[in-house]
Structure 1
Amino acid sequence: MQKWYEKYPVFKSKDLYLAGSSFAGHFVPNLANALLDDNKQSKQSKFNLKGLVLGNPMLRKKLDDIAKIDFFFSREMINSSLYNEIKKECNAIDENNYFSSIKTTWSAKCKNLVFEADLAAFKTDAHNYSPQKLFDVFRPPCAKTEQDLNLGKQVPIVSTEVDMCHPLRVQFYFNLPEVQKAFHGNQTNLSYRWKGCFTANFKYNEADKDLDMLPALKNLLQQSIPITIFSGDQDGIIPIEGTLQHLEKLAEELNIKLTKEETWNSGTKEGGVKYEFGDLLKFLTVKGGNHHVTSSRPSQAFSIFSNFTINWMH
């Protein structure tokens, strides 16, 4: 980023916002803290960091694995008997002592019960269960393949308002020879086709996934960096129930009170629920949004950035 500013100095004085979704709940706060540390040490021009925006961020993964069950139960996707049994059997994490170094080993019974909940929630069996459904619990996943597009078959929009086959279309598009030629891609003539990062070629560091990100967020808030977090209410991977619990814990550690809880609107439509913790931390749920709100509810995502991030910080 320093090199980029050197090449494009006109941006040095501009306000800087960092944003991302999902696993960006790890690397965006860490990057923000790195920039602030550099500001303290460097004699050169400063990074003019004005705020963070995080969508459905991974903050405390082990707790989110259990929050999925709260999500299912709150939407009547599983019954109370199964819910209570899971909560009793899988109660293996102390929220007040959440460390990645403390290995959480779910019992075989816990794992079986959670899988049973997945099948019950989506009214399916082990043979037909698709984990992809957790990213958008009320819309069916894309059932087509890239081969369908290669053969010229029509791939319809799978669900109202949201094209669940969009990632597939992107993968098909970037493999067109004329497209790769236009942006000077694949100049070494690789023997395999380009694929998006969510494939077998992309590996998360499992230990990193379990890191507690509240200390990173806490450090930013203590340096008066505003943070806006938003989450789609149809996301079963990182459900709003877990994220709200994490932020309540963060506010408690900083002795910040929940100062406002109200519905928010995007144009003439109800956007969701807005929670404000003090002056620097906001959490907004997005009605009808999935794990990727910017794709499933783009106008609401833009409204959050323009109305609750930029305007709020000015």
Structure 2
Amino acid sequence: MTSGPRSRLLALIGLLLLATATVSAEAEDWRAEQERDRVPRVPGQGFNASFAHYAGYVTVSEERGAALFYWFFEAAQDPGSKPLVLWLNGGPGCSSIAFGLGEEVGPFHVNADGKGVHMNPYSWNKVANILFLDSPVGVGYSYSNTSDDVLRNGDARTAKDSLAFLLKWLERFPQYKGREFYLTGESYAGHYVPQLAQAIKRHHEATGDKSLNLKGYMVGNSLMDDFHDHYGIFQFMWTTGLISDQTYKLLNIFCDFESFVHTSPQCEKILDIASAEAGNIDSYSIFTPTCHASFAASKNKVMKRLHSVGKMGEQYDPCTEKHSIVYFNLPEVQKALHVSPVVGKSKWETCSEVVNTHWGDCERSVLHIYHELIQYGLRIWVFSGDTDAVIPVTSTRYSVDALKLPTVTPWHAWYDDDGEVGGWSQGYKGLTFVTVRGAGHEVPLHRPKQALTLIKSFLAGSPMPVQSNMRSDM
């Protein structure tokens, strides 16, 4: 009579032990995967880092053999309490490792000699756990075993692959499941970021899976709407004195929206005139020096002194991209970052011309996605460096205005920690717009301290600091 209940009890105990063993084995699996991706040090790192970081691949399509490369940095202090932030660069075809990490918001920036790294005192991992992703395939160290895969990229597949990456990455780093999660990026990531946010939203709705606890996104100098982005460029060039009155008038006559996107002979001629009038400047940052040999040589002398303490001064370096090309092509760097030998056989590029040239589907506007995600309740911020002539502040303001959102907080100046005007801001119902004074296309490169204030305010859901927060001695 007692054998039946006892047998059932023993069977139940057996199942519990089996389940415990299975969970333990799964835990060992992800711990082993994390340890495999851990990066103890990188070449030319003459300092100790107080945080852990990991680099490697996540396969996003077994069928295509497509794998995306990531580099992840835990927060400098108390990572368990900090949110998870993804950074994406655009192009399309540009590497988030090259730009976002190597010269903007990452903890390590590449030295002027291209042989090592130094600490970034304004790294965003001071306030968050930061994940950098090279997306789509063919960008940076990301690859596909399907030979023509890099010719088939576009907006839709990039969002799909990036979502697949995030879901699989969380299986490798399950401690971040359910953690507050934010998307950030710049330039063509003005497409990537809202499209990925939309894909995450739809994944939530279709599956009920909330492992990706998306709370909001922030994009800078971002492509938002082809018409308004185009409409603001010529106005910016004229008001900043880059082109003449006559050229401005002719641009508006011969380079209407269709002619600008699919250039006519008349439009090309006047664009050449505009380029000649503007001169040899960096269109991404019109008031800073361009990269030339004499500047790079003098900068290198300064950097030798600064790197002795492992930190870089605030002097602007226009040659940062060249430094990255040297560093990320070093075999010892690729080995330290667990880069696939298949990728190592080809030259690493900051931006892939192949990916850019063969880009497929591209939405003319993402403003409808903004409306959808505002209704979803996401925190949405748009920022703009005001010395960028590629996607200038005028273009972004036209795009934001086109959303027709009610104003909540009128246009006002915000202030940095030194009591200086850091830029201007306006709060709308569902969106915050921020300009960063004196910054170019890559805001954190040109104004790193102000960019750190920006991410702090965004993550806190607080307005940018106003004059009342200035130093008491001002």
Short-chain TM bin: 0.7 to 0.9
**5+ residue gaps in structure 1?**
94-101, 123-128
Kindly tell me: are residues 35 and 117 of structure 1, through their superposed partners in 2, closer, same or farther at Cα, counting changes over 3 Å? same
Alignment of 1:35-114 (within 5 A): 35-92=200-257, 105-114=262-271
Match of 2:273 in 1: 116
Q: Offset at 1:155?
A: 7.9
The alignment status of 1:136 with 2:290, answered yes or no, reads no
Match of 2:337 in 1: 183
Kindly tell me: are residues 187 and 205 of structure 1, through their superposed partners in 2, closer, same or farther at Cα, counting changes over 3 Å? closer
Any conservation in 2 of the 1:69–1:117 contact (CA below 8 Å)? no
Kindly tell me: are residues 117 and 240 of structure 1, through their superposed partners in 2, closer, same or farther at Cα, counting changes over 3 Å? same
Match of 2:413 in 1: 263
Kindly tell me: are residues 167 and 47 of structure 1, through their superposed partners in 2, closer, same or farther at Cα, counting changes over 3 Å? same
Distance in 2 separating the partners of 1:79 and 1:189: 47
Any conservation in 2 of the 1:92–1:106 contact (CA below 8 Å)? no
Q: Partner letter of residue 172 of structure 1?
A: V
Q: Secondary structure at the match of 1:54?
A: strand
Q: Secondary structure at the match of 2:179?
A: coil
Residue 424 of structure 2, aligned match among 273, 276, 281: 273
Distance in 2 separating the partners of 1:43 and 1:217: 22
More deviation, 21-30/78-87:
78-87
TM-score by length of 2: 0.55
Match of 1:233 in 2: 386
Any conservation in 1 of the 2:379–2:461 contact (CA below 8 Å)? no
TM-score by length of 1: 0.80
Distance in 2 separating the partners of 1:263 and 1:114: 34
Any conservation in 2 of the 1:36–1:47 contact (CA below 8 Å)? no
Distance in 2 separating the partners of 1:249 and 1:36: 23
Give the greater-gyration-radius structure (CA): 2
Kindly tell me: are residues 110 and 210 of structure 1, through their superposed partners in 2, closer, same or farther at Cα, counting changes over 3 Å? farther
Distance in 2 separating the partners of 1:241 and 1:227: 19
Q: Offset at 1:57?
A: 0.7
**Cα deviation code 1:19-63 (max 9, x no counterpart):** 111111001101101111111111433532111010111112354
Distance in 2 separating the partners of 1:103 and 1:142: 28
Distance in 2 separating the partners of 1:189 and 1:38: 31
Match of 2:437 in 1: 287
Q: Secondary structure at the match of 1:137?
A: coil
Distance in 1 separating the partners of 2:333 and 2:179: 33
Kindly tell me: are residues 83 and 291 of structure 1, through their superposed partners in 2, closer, same or farther at Cα, counting changes over 3 Å? same
**Cα deviation code 1:61-116 (max 9, x no counterpart):** 354234221111111222323212322333346xxxxxxxx995443222222221
Any conservation in 1 of the 2:235–2:394 contact (CA below 8 Å)? yes
Kindly tell me: are residues 287 and 189 of structure 1, through their superposed partners in 2, closer, same or farther at Cα, counting changes over 3 Å? closer
The alignment status of 1:171 with 2:325, answered yes or no, reads yes
Distance in 2 separating the partners of 1:212 and 1:138: 29
Match of 1:213 in 2: 366
The alignment status of 1:297 with 2:451, answered yes or no, reads no
Match of 1:126 in 2: none
Distance in 2 separating the partners of 1:239 and 1:9: 39
Q: Partner letter of residue 275 of structure 1?
A: Q
More deviation, 56-65/300-309:
56-65
Q: Offset at 1:194?
A: 2.1
More deviation, 212-221/83-92:
83-92
How much identity, in percent, do the aligned residues show? 28
More deviation, 175-184/47-56:
175-184
What is the aligned residue count?
Answer: 285
Q: Secondary structure at the match of 1:312?
A: coil
Any conservation in 1 of the 2:228–2:398 contact (CA below 8 Å)? no
Any conservation in 2 of the 1:144–1:165 contact (CA below 8 Å)? no
Q: Partner letter of residue 196 of structure 2?
A: L
**Cα deviation code 1:264-296 (max 9, x no counterpart):** 112122111112112x21111111111111211
Q: Partner letter of residue 183 of structure 2?
A: L
